[in-house]
Amino acid sequence: IVLAFLSAFRARSERYTLAALMQATLDVEFVASILSQYTTARASELQSQVYQELDQRTDNSARMRLQNELPEMRAILKKLRDGTRGEFICFKKQRTAR
């Protein structure tokens, strides 16, 4: 999944507006949070590359404004996770009895 993000972001030639940067960040973070129990070192490395790719196509103004939007983005991400909890329960690892 992260490879698909990376490929898509590399294919984009224009710069990211604040809205596009926010959407891309929410998409990447949402998928990462849902599949966090299955993350490997390679997946983490690729996710870092995704953020580097986004950063290269973002101007300083959008980057600074994104910092101001982070608290609201965290709230949106939490609502997304809470709202889709039932849909993605299949990805949750089963707890074993101790």
**Residue 81: count of CB within 10 angstroms of its CB:** 14
How far apart are the C-alpha atoms of 9 and 98, rounded to whole Å?
Answer: 43
What does pTM read for this prediction?
0.77
DSSP label of 38: G
Provide the pLDDT for residue 98: 62
Percent of the chain with pLDDT over 70: 92
Q: At what angle do helices 18-34 and 60-83 cross, to 10 degrees?
A: 40
Two tokens, residue 77: 């991400």
Provide the pLDDT for residue 95: 67
Write out pLDDT tens, residues 30-60. 888 888 888 889 988 999 999 999 999 998 8
